[in-house]
Structure 1
Amino acid sequence: MTVVDHQGPVLAPDGGWGWMVTFSSFMLNMILDGVFFTYGIFFPEFLRYFGQSNGKTQLLHSVLVGTCLVSGPLASVLVRKFDSRKVAATGALTASIGFFLSSFAPNLDVMFVCYGIMGGFGFGMFYLPAIVTIGVYFDSRRALATGLALCGSGVGALVFAPITRLLLETYGWRGSMWIVSAITLNGVIFSTTYRPLKTEKEIKNNKHNTSNNYTSRTDHDSESCCKHFCLAMTDMFDFSLLTSPTMLLYSTSCLLVMFGFFIPSNFLPVYATEINLSSEDGAVLILAMGISNTVGRVVMGYITDQSYANSLVINNIALLIGGLATCSVPFYTSFGMLVTYAVVFGLVTAAFALLRSILMAELLGVHRLNSSFGLLGLSMGLSTFVGSPIAGALADIYGNYRVAFYFSGISLVLGGLISVPLRFISKREHSKIKEFNFVDTYNSDQRKKTTDIEIVYFKKTITISTISEKI
């Protein structure tokens, strides 16, 4: 089937090389979320080594994730300007360098720059291509392919949890950063599979590349730099999304969700020690979360592709269940109860992460997926910057981690509730757009008819005056 990309109609293979792209996205997501979700294992080490508060130490993780998400609009522009392959490879290289330099950090402030900003920016550069490219290569199997690609996140938490614990015990946190840097560098190899699909526009213009390039250079020379930059930005980014009620409401929902999204994975290991469980038990909780996350993304991807499934309903129910279960964490006083919660929350994160791009494609269109996902990342990143630090500060104030889970659960519930009318708002928005286009077309036709009548009348007048002169 044909998918409309930002440059024109593209024939989605719905298989073939698309499965190789899916595998690469799987591996990139495994690296990214493997680092994200195992920060809770590094957290006690950073607390002891740097001697800072819970809030400031949690801010390091928030800067990493927040920078990754906030860089979404920039990554969107770069993908449209260049292509997914170059942007993803550059991102993997940048993140790898950032993690390597962070191993030499003498204090937490330097870690913010190297680990948080450089690592986060690099992750952002290959996170968006890993999601958006799936939407271009697949149409009827999009949810399944997205689910398979995103289950790399669960596998990342599954694999990285025991590896991180082993690395910390063997090499310390600095040596562990070297190995994490080397693993991240493999993203350069995986990103080479993002072969761009040719659009119909590119095929038609292929014979005229030389003349088009010459004209483009001439135009660039004649225009001012400022004007050219503005035109380029307008062409590469869909600014009309800023006025879309659907986009604004879903962005608000995701902003609320991301306040508490990473708090359970960051605080479960240290909360386990608070109720007299071992650090190994804390790592097992992250492992259980990773297993359920992995299985959940594949299963939900398959279910979402079915005709009876409503992706928005699944998203909202998952957030409500996850929020209520998180608010109840302070009442879980045994290892078995915490493992059960970790499995449930892993399924919740699987649904939310899987359905973001699916909902954007359904509600706003595949042709706007690149820009909409970038804006969504910006919204999510802003709340991620402050979510975990607020939870850490609350833990410092109250002397325990229970209030952090209350904060996380409430934000998840609010995110699920606010997106309930999203489908209705999206339909109204589309109907207004169609109505506006119809009126605009009708007015254009009327103007054309009026012009034709005036021309005919003018010709008749000329003819009559000419006859009069002859008489």
Structure 2
Amino acid sequence: MGKGKKSNEMPKPPDGGWGWFVVLGSFLLHVFADGIVYSFGVFYVEFLDYFGGGKGETSWVGSLVPGVTLGVGPIASALTNRYGCRKVTIIGALIASSGFILSLFAPNIYYLYFSFGILSGLGFGLMYLPAIVSVGYYFEKKRSFAMGLAVCGSGIGTFIFAPLSELLVHEYGWKGAALIEAGIVLNCILCGALFRPLVAKVNKEEKDFEHEPDEKEALMKLSESNGTKDIPDVQLTPALDTPIINKNLNMLQSEHPTHFAKSDGALHKMDPSLALPSRNSSHTFQRQTSTHSHQPSSIHPGPMYRKDIFYSGSLLNIPQYKSNPDLYVTSVTSLPDVVPEQEDWALFRCLNLSPEMRDAIRQMLDFSLLKDVVFLLFVVSNFFTSIGFNMPYIFLPDRAEEAGIGKQEAAFLVSVIGIANTIGRVVFGWMADRPGVNRLMLYNTALVICGVGTAISPLNDSYAYLVCYAAVFGAFIGVYVGLTSVVLVDLLGLDKLTNSFGLLLMFQGVATLIGPPIAGWLYDGTGSYNISFHVAGTVVAVSGAMLYVIPWVQRCVGKPNHDEEIEIGENKPV
């Protein structure tokens, strides 16, 4: 078997069919999960009154949920690669719902760190990654459109759940609201059930071949029983296509007490005791062996073996896909090389992880990529963006109430962020797919505008002004989620997407975890949210501005522009 080939072929995405039900499941999951997570600002106000803690320590509850959700990305990817999107999503829904239910018994705010924050965050993390991966696994040509539909559920869910959470808290208190939302999270089980595993179509000959005995092992057993050690290395090929060879082979087998097999284009004579029964004289079989490609234990490799599984843009923007789709598919679905057991991570040997889980974690946590100056710059930028990303979702309702705005109107500000975010993702996604658009510049500029808007938002506390700010923030922050994978491919190439995306999730998780508490502590120290919004806005604006130097850095280090050329070659170790 040659390089780049494998016996366990990945299923071909249907670009439709059941895939649209997968999109529906992903869309609804984003509605439920993201809607509840991003409407935490309503619960934040209630937690402040109920537990009487400071804004800094209370905000840890809200930051733990998205922080853990992002931080467990490598773990979720490993489980998804081993057990599939459906099972992991269902387990995640059960864990997240359990976290909400356990929060009902919280005696203090610190208990909520574990139940509402860590446990629910873990559950949402196990749902979030399969919701993205499942859509990418079912679509190629229509992936950009399908992924756009799926992630729109995030903004729509925020629009729905912010006022809904406020209504539930008003009617039933925060405990009653948490219990009801725990039931809503359980609906994600039905969403996960729609993530039906995609299997490859197997023709009749391949199906029959799977049930044939292993000829080489049988030969070895026969040789041991006959005391024969030197067995010719026979390669049995599927279907000898030459009629003359078939005829001669049949004649030789019937007239002579010897067995003939084809090897390297020639017929080799073997001892009669080594002859094996044949299903059909015109059909022999090839024992596929390779020390180059990794063979997962499952018949169909996991979704994380697709190198473009996190790519949310249109594949038509990739030159290799446009020029030669078959070559592109062969490249992105090639299985990784086997890593010798003695060179594997000690943690893998201790936990006895399956090959699929080891491969997924190894790909997403290859820290050698941090040596790349361009990627390191992008990581720092993402870290700064994540510090200010969740702050308006958590603190804007409380800030509005302090300005004398009613609770329902204050909660509606989060809804404005949600609907504007939906529109922003669609618009920026469409712009990024247009020919001639520099996606990096689009990404940078949107972040700068979002950061400046946040920094100047304390200039006025009127409701109309806050609605305008919420709309600007929601629309332009949509680029952060929607175009991250697209920009990564432009900067690093498709071959490094999984690795770079996995590392980004970790850094985003840490930054998301510490961002809201920093803003809360600034309030506790100053008695106002003004400094918190100034700092958060400045950090986000800097995160966008610092990426303007990337083209210059690429020229200095002689790095190619992967937006124009994406490297496709032989399998590389992960």
- Shorter-chain-normalised TM-score: which range? 0.7 to 0.9
Pairwise CA RMSD? 3.7
Structure 1 residues 373 and 93, CA gap change in structure 2 (3 angstroms)? farther
Structure 1 residues 21 and 250, CA gap change in structure 2 (3 angstroms)? farther
- Specify the code of the residue in structure 1 equivalent to 2:506: L
1:91 matched residue in structure 2: 92
Deviation at 1:398, TM superposition (A): 0.4
Structure 1 residues 37 and 268, CA gap change in structure 2 (3 angstroms)? same
Contact persistence 1:146–1:354 (CA under 8 A): no
> For the residues of structure 1 that align with 2:529 and 2:378, how far apart are their CA atoms?
29
1:328 matched residue in structure 2: 456
Contact persistence 2:420–2:475 (CA under 8 A): yes
TM-score (norm 1): 0.81
Moved more, 239-248 or 182-191: 239-248
Moved more, 290-299 or 225-234: 225-234
> For the residues of structure 1 that align with 2:205 and 2:74, how far apart are their CA atoms?
29
Residue 235 of structure 1 pairs with residue 359 of structure 2: yes
1:23 matched residue in structure 2: 24
Give me the identity figure in percent. Answer: 36
> For the residues of structure 1 that align with 2:89 and 2:74, how far apart are their CA atoms?
14
Contact persistence 1:327–1:406 (CA under 8 A): yes
1:460 matched residue in structure 2: none
Unaligned runs of 5+ in 2: 215-288, 290-294, 299-340
1:119 matched residue in structure 2: 120
Structure 1 residues 200 and 338, CA gap change in structure 2 (3 angstroms)? same
1:37 matched residue in structure 2: 38
- Specify the code of the residue in structure 1 equivalent to 2:473: F
Deviation at 1:141, TM superposition (A): 3.1
Deviation at 1:137, TM superposition (A): 2.5
Structure 1 residues 124 and 77, CA gap change in structure 2 (3 angstroms)? same
1:193 matched residue in structure 2: 194
**Which of 389, 408, 414 matches 1:286?**
414
Deviation at 1:44, TM superposition (A): 1.3
Deviation at 1:136, TM superposition (A): 2.8
Contact persistence 1:312–1:423 (CA under 8 A): no
Structure 1 residues 76 and 204, CA gap change in structure 2 (3 angstroms)? farther
> For the residues of structure 2 that align with 1:332 and 1:291, how far apart are their CA atoms?
22
- Specify the code of the residue in structure 2 equivalent to 1:134: V
Secondary structure of 1:94's counterpart equals helix
2:14 matched residue in structure 1: 13
Structure 1 residues 107 and 161, CA gap change in structure 2 (3 angstroms)? same
Deviation at 1:274, TM superposition (A): 2.3
Structure 1 residues 435 and 290, CA gap change in structure 2 (3 angstroms)? closer
1:341 matched residue in structure 2: 469
> For the residues of structure 2 that align with 1:234 and 1:425, how far apart are their CA atoms?
34
> For the residues of structure 1 that align with 2:571 and 2:111, how far apart are their CA atoms?
56
Listed as ranges, the matches of 1:289-368 within 5 Å are: 289-364=417-492
Unaligned runs of 5+ in 1: 442-471
Q: Which has the higher helix share?
A: 1
> For the residues of structure 2 that align with 1:330 and 1:67, how far apart are their CA atoms?
30
Secondary structure of 2:140's counterpart equals coil
Deviation at 1:371, TM superposition (A): 4.6
Structure 1 residues 312 and 10, CA gap change in structure 2 (3 angstroms)? farther
Contact persistence 2:493–2:567 (CA under 8 A): no
Contact persistence 2:166–2:407 (CA under 8 A): no
1:156 matched residue in structure 2: 157
Secondary structure of 2:197's counterpart equals coil
1:226 matched residue in structure 2: 349
**Which of 402, 405, 408 matches 1:274?**
402
Contact persistence 1:76–1:370 (CA under 8 A): no
Contact persistence 1:55–1:391 (CA under 8 A): yes
Secondary structure of 1:195's counterpart equals coil
How many positions carry a matched residue from both structures?
432
Moved more, 299-308 or 84-93: 299-308
Cα displacement string for residues 211-232 of structure 1 (whole angstroms, at most 9, x for unaligned residues)? 79x9979xxxx99982894883
> For the residues of structure 2 that align with 1:226 and 1:424, how far apart are their CA atoms?
43
Determine which structure has more spread, i.e. the larger CA radius of gyration. 2
Moved more, 296-305 or 166-175: 296-305
- Specify the code of the residue in structure 2 equivalent to 1:352: Y
Cα displacement string for residues 151-196 of structure 1 (whole angstroms, at most 9, x for unaligned residues)? 1111111100111111011100000011110111111110122233
Deviation at 1:117, TM superposition (A): 0.7
